Amino acid sequence: MTPFPLPLDQLLGSGGAYLVYLAIGFAFGAVLEMAGFAVSTRLAAQFYFKDMTVLKVMFTGIITAMALIFLATGLGLLDYNLVYVNPTYLWPGILGGLIMGVGFILGGFCPGTSLVSAATLKIDGIIFALGAFFGIFLFGETVGWYEAFWNSSYMGRFTLMDLFQTDTGIIVLGVMVMALLAFAGAEWAERKIGKQTARQPRWRYGAAGGGLALAAVVLLIGQPTNADRWNMIAAEKQPLLDTRQVYVHPGEVLSYMNDRKIITMLIDVRDEADYNLFHLRDARHMPLAQLDTLVEEFHALPENAVVFVMSNDEAQATEAWRYLVAESVVNVYIMDGGINNWLNTFGEPDFKEEAALTTTTGDQIAYRFDIAYGERHPAAAPHADRFTLEYEPHVVLSIKRGPASGGCG
């Protein structure tokens, strides 16, 4: 079973997918309006600790989504790699948050709630929404002046788990406890500062207990490892290895290296010594233990990108392929026979006769190099027209299922 998210555009077509997105947008707006988020005075009261509806509603949505997402990933129902997480640009994010916060206090709306207010024909909401559109226009016209800062302090897909270097379950439980304490503090502020006297429903204690229980379950079941994810898809993917459908002849790899319409990623997973002796032109050295650092980059690759992994023979490259496929990276292939087969295919006859080793063990390079050539060796970037090769093409570019862009309501 392939984990969710479902690719709606494939299942329903682009028109059907947009209808689903439209329905979700209307539903979200309706919920905000029913929560009273179309009234600027109620939203602004948040910052004076008189009416904490914003905190309670939005934080409830956040912790509910958080707990259910990681519960689903822990059960193998959801692939977290395919869930969009806004990339972190630390200092621009901090400055943008301060600007938005000041605007929220002055105007009583955030961009999303201003649209809800405008939809209900409130004048202040309409004016705020028009101001937001003007701000977007102004930003687009001036961003070139401070583009370096705008793109600075990039941290990628950075989460609390990365910040604290701890398990997801601990973070989920910690955020849940923090939210419940914030709710208790919000109720106290509403009574003491906002002078609210309405009694709160008793069912909220049950909801709080349910949230804690859900977070505890997430902590207990944990999150799937790469090996767990491979086991989930092994029945579907292992036959591709057994029938060698993902092993690509060196000639086909060379054809993609010379194809300007295709982004070709060559990933060499051998140890540094062998990589320095000889590697393909533009190949990146990435040991198996560091493959996880490439996953985010590979998910962001466009549709016309293909990844070839290689080792001296095939053992390490096959292991790398399993790892990347389990992390939902698509269009990944293994170079058939590895570097040894590449040299056997494109090496000069004199080189192959003189440098071939008589015996090799395991995933070992089969040729002797007197110096470290790197990609300066003639075989690192051979001219395809010098060779007459026959092979069965195996590369079929798949539709990417990486995380798509997202935004803030």
- Name the nearest CA neighbour of 166 among 81, 223, 84: 223
> Do 267 and 375 lie in a common domain?
yes
2 part of a folded domain: no
409 part of a folded domain: no
Q: How confident is the model at residue 140 (pLDDT cuts 50, 70, 90)?
A: very high
CA 43 to chain centroid: 33
Taking residue 199's Cβ as centre, other Cβ atoms within 10 Å add up to 6
Which pLDDT value is given to residue 199?
Answer: 85
DSSP, collapsed to helix, strand or coil, labels residue 170 as helix
Check pLDDT > 70 for residue 4: no
Q: pLDDT tens across 19-46, in order?
A: 998 999 899 899 888 888 899 998 999 8
Task: Share the mean pLDDT of the chain.
Answer: 90
CA atoms of 110 and 296, how far apart (whole Å): 30
Token couple for 401: 């299922």
> Residue 126: in which H helix or E strand, if any?
helix 123-142
- Name the nearest CA neighbour of 77 among 185, 213, 223: 223
How many domains does the chain fold into? 2
CA atoms of 282 and 131, how far apart (whole Å): 48
Which of 167, 197, 226 lies at the terminal end of a domain, its last residue? 226
The span from the first CA to the last CA of the chain, in angstroms, equals: 32
91 part of a folded domain: yes
Average pLDDT on 108-135 reads 92
Average pLDDT on 58-87 reads 91
> Do 250 and 206 lie in a common domain?
no
Q: pLDDT tens across 301-346, in order?
A: 888 899 999 999 999 999 999 999 999 999 999 999 999 999 999 9
Which CA distances in Å does 221 have to 73, 75, 167, 202?
Answer: 10, 8, 11, 30
Check pLDDT > 60 for residue 404: no
Which pLDDT value is given to residue 152?
Answer: 94
> Do 222 and 280 lie in a common domain?
no
Average pLDDT on 365-384 reads 92
Residues of the domain holding 170:
8-226
> Do 171 and 241 lie in a common domain?
no
Tell me the helices (H) and strands (E) count for the chain, helix number first: 17, 7
Average pLDDT on 87-115 reads 91
Query: Could you give the maximum distance between any two Cα atoms of the chain, in Å?
Result: 92
CA atoms of 136 and 32, how far apart (whole Å): 23
Taking residue 8's Cβ as centre, other Cβ atoms within 10 Å add up to 15
Which pLDDT value is given to residue 400?
Answer: 60
CA atoms of 108 and 341, how far apart (whole Å): 66
DSSP annotation of 367 reads B
> Do 210 and 254 lie in a common domain?
no
Check pLDDT > 90 for residue 384: no
Which pLDDT value is given to residue 402?
Answer: 56
pTM here is: 0.82
Amino acid at 389: L
Check pLDDT > 90 for residue 275: yes
Check pLDDT > 60 for residue 2: no
